Amino acid sequence: MGAAARTWLAEREADLLPVGYFHGVFTLPAEAAGIAFQNKAFVYDLLFKAASETMLTIAADRKHIGITAVLHTWGSAMTHHPHVHMIVPGGGITPDGSRWISSRPAFLLPVRVLSKLFRRLFLTRLVALHDAARLSFFGALAHLAERRAFLRHLSPVRKKRWVVYAKAPFAGPEAVLAYLSRYTHRVAISNSRLIRFDKDSITFRYKDYRRDSADRQQVMTLATDEFIRRFLIHVLPRGFHRIRHYGLLAGSARKASLALARELLNVAAPPDDDTPDEPDNFRPPCPCCDGRMIIIEMFER
């Protein structure tokens, strides 16, 4: 785990509630993924909005839930495969704020209902983006600039069942953060999957999910330029946020919502840590992006 992931993990510990957490995934079908590839900022943002609104809407009749969402744009072989991972507490606050309603032990929300609403919300807004001339098309997709061709392209996915699922809860809240921290601060591939490389090719491990579980671990060798091409596919537009929070965990209301949730669950709030950093731990901000600088190596005079 890198330094940025460790810092993010420590900052998120204060948000944990003593409940089971569910893992949800919302995936774009290939027809929509191709459009996303040429319109990353607009379509990835739409993916976040449609997925989060779907989850919040289906839960809203019973409770107000919290969501931490992380965008992934890759499959195991570094191909383009946009999807959003969600971590959701197993329960939420009633609309009137009077009590906490826990979800069933191994069930969060009905995935078929989630899938249908997600499909409708995403496609409706994607067409609206096209009508507003916000989308661009190139190469083999250039013909989609014409509205009739665009609608014809989307026609098959209106009848498909979109891939949405919500897994049973993690072992505990700490396991949630351990899982998320592995995926929030890296792109496409971790160093541990690299086997060997030279000036001509790179060999790495990947999972082939079309195979049986015992035979999924496979090895792939790519030409160096193809490996770099696949990696660069997943560099996000400048300023794009691939970790977002919704519901109880959203923005300025997060602290008050979590305090109410703990009160309703009858658990103590974590202690505030207002201790300033020691002077020798000071790290100046980056002059370009104002992010935290990380010391890689120090040289003596």
Task: Write out pLDDT tens, residues 179-230.
Answer: 777 767 677 888 888 999 998 999 999 988 888 777 888 999 999 999 999 9
* pTM of the model as a whole: 0.84
pLDDT at 152 over 90: yes
pLDDT of 288 over the 90 cut: no
Give the domain ranges of the chain.
3-188+238-269, 190-233
- Asked whether the predicted pLDDT for residue 239 surpasses 70, the reply is yes
Confidence of residue 279 (pLDDT cuts 50, 70, 90): very low
pLDDT at site 215: 81
pLDDT of residue 153: 97
Q: Does position 231 have pLDDT exceeding 90, yes or no?
A: yes
Report the C-alpha gap between 151 and 31 in whole angstroms.
Answer: 11
CA distance 298 to 287: 19
Is the pLDDT confidence value at 35 over 60? yes
Check the CA dihedral 210-211-213-216 and report its sign: negative
**pLDDT value at residue 251:** 84
Mean pLDDT of 95-106: 88
Residues 6+ positions from 294 with CB-CB distance below 8 Å: 3, 4, 283
* 38-52, 216-230, 260-274: range with lowest mean pLDDT: 260-274
Q: Is 37 exposed, middle or buried (0-12, 13-18, 19+ CB in 10 A)?
A: middle
pLDDT at residue 130 tops 60: yes
Q: Tell me what the pLDDT averaged over the chain comes to.
A: 86
* Pairing verdict, β 217-223 and 194-197: unpaired
Whether residue 277 is predicted with pLDDT greater than 60 in this model: the reply is: no
Report the range of poorest mean pLDDT among 21-35, 200-214, 245-259, 270-284. 270-284
pLDDT range class, residue 287, cuts 50, 70, 90: low
With 50 as the cut, is the pLDDT of residue 264 above it? yes
| Total count of residues recorded for the chain | 301
pLDDT of 17 higher than 80: yes
How far apart (Å, rounded) are the C-alpha atoms in residues 186 and 2? 9
Question: Which residues face 222 on adjacent strands?
Answer: 202
Work out whether strand 164-167 and strand 194-197 pair parallel, antiparallel, or are unpaired.
unpaired
Q: What is the mean pLDDT of residues 102-109?
A: 86
pLDDT at residue 275 in the model: 46
Tell me the C-alpha distance between 27 and 164, whole Å: 6
| Mean pLDDT, range 102-130, rounded to an integer | 93
Can you give the pLDDT at residue 252? 81
- Cα distance between residue 62 and residue 98, in whole Å: 12
